[in-house]
Each structure stands twice: as structure tokens, then as C-alpha cells.
Structure 1
């Protein structure tokens, strides 16, 4: 039997945007906008032109990625198909469930990515080899 795509679980989620002539405000809350308990937040910045970040999957960790400044593309891959999301606004983010290969590329100058995740850091949770990722997906 052919396995179905898991990319349907990847979701672009709009965040509240409060407009004000003094400057706009957006926010996120766990279980409301982000569908998990937030255990870690990190950010990626000063990415040199042409560099790729990510290039891995997680066994358990879920993520929510926001382009706080500038823009970049997030390529998601479930082992059967790929999809590219261009993030360029700070009032929406990309939810990526566990078991999805992802990489970030095409960073604009001075872009900043903020990532909230469902777990604390664990190197054992990472799948950094694509062939190992495919084996992991086929065993599910």
C-alpha cells in the first residue's frame, strides 16, 4: 500500500497582528497559535549569502518558524514530496511536525529566523543523514 504524504501536516499559521501608527505588534502563545508546549526558543541570524541552514529532521521535536526580519525559504520534505514555503512576514509562521526533513535557504541580507520548539535540545533527536531519514519514515 502506498503511504500518503505527511506534508499536509505542515501548516502556515497566521499570528495576531495589532496595527498601530506607533508600530505594529504580533505575538504567539503555546496551544493557541503554536500547537505544542514551547520548551525552547532560538534564532538564526547573520547567515552568509548562499548558505543553507537545517538539512535535518527530528524524531520527536516539533517546530514553529517565523521570519522576524527579512526573508528566507523553508523546504519541507516527507520522503515522498517536497514543498517550499517563503517566509517574509513576522505575523505568520510555519508549523513543522516531527518526522519532516527541513532546510532553510535563500536568506535575505539581515534576515532573522526565530524558532520555537516543543523539546529542549537533544542531539539524539536529530536525523542528519537523508538516507537514515528515509529509513525512519519507511519504518513508521
Structure 2
């Protein structure tokens, strides 16, 4: 499993820090951003996610606090801690994801390549494994 983390542009000075990114061909985010959402106020011990996408690409950025992302490509799992607002984690299609271990006050920002489409979701892990098997024939 290849994990892609991207360090965004950051400018620091005496008044604070600024992180920025650009999307489109040849930019930080290769896809056009069509949807943005964020996850916050996650109760202690709760997990989020539990799904994969057929087409959607995403960047996950923990803009405040920290959280852990479990990625599963069907044969290997990896846990990645996000705790830097200037670092994004790419999650491509066909990757199961779960988010957990949210610190108090954590905010996880998600940049998505597509508009919301329920048909793009795989919400059952066994169906995810079947989808990968069928896709890789």
C-alpha cells in the first residue's frame, strides 16, 4: 500500500501561520475540489468512516488537534496519525477508511473530487472485499 502525504505551502511570521493549497492540473491537489466538509465534536472513543468509494478521491487534513486514519486496501492495513494542519493525506478510490482517536477539539477537513453521490459509497466491509475481487479480475 502506497501512502501519499502532501506537505502544503506554509508561511510563518511573527503574527502567525498561514497554510494554503491550490487544486487543478499541476497544482498541490491534482483534482478539482467539488466538495468540502469537516468532522468535529467527535465524542471520546468514537470512530467515523467505515466505508470506501468507487471513484471519489479525497485529501484529509486535521486542521486542529489530531486523529488517526486507518486505511485498508483489501490486503494491508495502515494507521496514519494526522496532527499537522499543513499536511494532507491522499485517499484514493477503492480504499476502506476509518477515522478514530480524535483529540478533544479535533477538526478533520476533507477535500473531495466529486459531489455527494450515495451510489459511490461501499458501506459494508464484506461488499468492499467483493468489490475489490471483482475489480481486480
TM-score (norm 2): 0.95
Number of positions where the alignment pairs a residue of Structure 1 with one of Structure 2: 133
SS in 2 for 1:19: strand
Query: Is 1:56 aligned to 2:48, yes or no?
Result: no
SS in 2 for 1:136: helix
Partner Cα separation in structure 1 for residue 30 and residue 66 of structure 2: 23
Query: Is 1:28 aligned to 2:21, yes or no?
Result: yes
**Pairing partner for 2:10 from 2, 8, 17:** 17
**Runs of 5+ unmatched residues, structure 1:** 1-6
Runs (4 or more) in structure 1 with deviation over 6 Å come to none
Partner of 2:126: 131
Q: Aligned-pair distance for 1:20?
A: 1.1
Query: Is 1:106 aligned to 2:101, yes or no?
Result: yes
Partner Cα separation in structure 2 for residue 16 and residue 26 of structure 1: 6
Higher strand share: 2
**Runs of 5+ unmatched residues, structure 2:** none
Q: Is the 8 A contact 1:13 1:93 kept in 2?
A: yes
TM-score (norm 1): 0.93
Structure 1, residues 118-139: CA drift from partner, whole Å, max 9, x if none?
A: 0000111100000000011111
RMSD of equivalent CA atoms: 0.7
